[in-house]
């Protein structure tokens, strides 16, 4: 194996949905291609928004080619021996093994670019992203615009039929009637069914 042939590292682009993580990942990939680096792009197969599963797409519609994977080991299996840059989008949906894979690639001299949202819809740490943030050499946390008040947004608001989704829902929900908005801490709403307070919004202010 002669991955990278230079000093490797891990850089993580994180933050709320709509904050521009995929745009930033694509920008870094395009610049690496301009630099004639050998680049491979992977993404979780759970992200199939817009242009189909073989691409990374941003919310503004631009795309690059990407290989969809359902498990982190598929990245280790598919990475080419001469890869210099490996980018992984929507990493919050992957298993914890992506931390080992990212570390292994960086140790082999590969520049590893990981993008993923750091919090689930409840505002809690999401999948392997917290561990990736801890081991990364470089971290950029991006913000979107809160669609309620216009401040900087850091939280993923899950809506079901237009209403805030209860905390008891699954962390990953594919193909349901839910949708998402970017919101700030103050406007983020997570009602709790278990507490018998479905209509009461739970926040640190209450």
Interaction site with ligand ADP (CB under 6 A): 17-23, 58-60, 144-145, 147, 182
CB under 8 Å to 30, separation ≥6 — which residues? Answer: 64
Q: Looking at beta carbons only, is 106 or 184 nearer to ligand ADP?
A: 184
Catalytic residue selected from 11, 23, 90, 181: 90
Q: How far is the CB of 158 from ligand ADP (least distance, A)?
A: 14
Distance of alpha carbon 124 from alpha carbon 22, whole angstroms: 21
**C-alpha pair distances (Å), 4 with each of 79, 104, 109, 110, 139:** 11, 11, 4, 4, 21
Residue showing tokens 């946390």:
141
Q: For residue 95, with 0-12 CB atoms within 10 Å meaning exposed, 13-18 middle and 19 or more buried, which class applies?
A: middle
User: Quick one: what does residue 22 bind among ligand ADP, Zn ion, none, with the CB cut-off 5 to 8 Å set by partner type?
Assistant: ligand ADP
User: Quick one: what does residue 201 bind among ligand ADP, Zn ion, none, with the CB cut-off 5 to 8 Å set by partner type?
Assistant: none
**175 — alpha (psi -120 to 50), left (phi > 0) or beta?**
left
Q: Looking at beta carbons only, is 18 or 121 nearer to ligand ADP?
A: 18
Q: Looking at beta carbons only, is 32 or 184 nearer to Zn ion?
A: 184
For the question of residue 90 being annotated catalytic, the response is yes
User: Quick one: what does residue 145 bind among ligand ADP, Zn ion, none, with the CB cut-off 5 to 8 Å set by partner type?
Assistant: ligand ADP
Active site residues: 90
């Amino acid at each position: 194996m002669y991955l990278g042939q230079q000093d490797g590292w891990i850089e993580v682009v994180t933050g709320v949905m709509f904050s521009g993580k995929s745009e930033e990942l694509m920008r870094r990939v395009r610049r690496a291609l301009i630099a004639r680096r050998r680049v491979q792009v992977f993404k979780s197969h759970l992200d199939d928004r817009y242009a189909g599963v073989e691409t990374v797409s941003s919310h503004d519609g631009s795309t690059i080619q990407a290989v969809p994977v359902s498990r982190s080991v598929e990245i280790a299996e598919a990475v080419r021996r001469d890869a210099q840059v490996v980018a992984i989008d929507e990493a919050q949906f992957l298993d914890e093994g992506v931390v080992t894979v990212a570390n292994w690639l960086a140790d082999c001299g590969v520049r590893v670019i990981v993008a993923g949202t750091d919090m689930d819809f409840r505002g809690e740490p999401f999948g392997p992203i917290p561990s990736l943030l801890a081991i990364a050499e470089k971290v950029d946390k991006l913000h979107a615009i809160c669609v309620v008040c216009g401040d900087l947004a850091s939280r993923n608001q899950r809506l079901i039929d237009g209403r805030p989704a209860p905390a008891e829902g699954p962390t990953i929900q594919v193909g349901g009637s839910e949708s998402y908005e970017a919101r700030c801490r103050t406007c983020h709403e997570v009602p709790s069914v278990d507490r018998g307070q479905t209509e009461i919004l739970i926040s640190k202010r209450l």
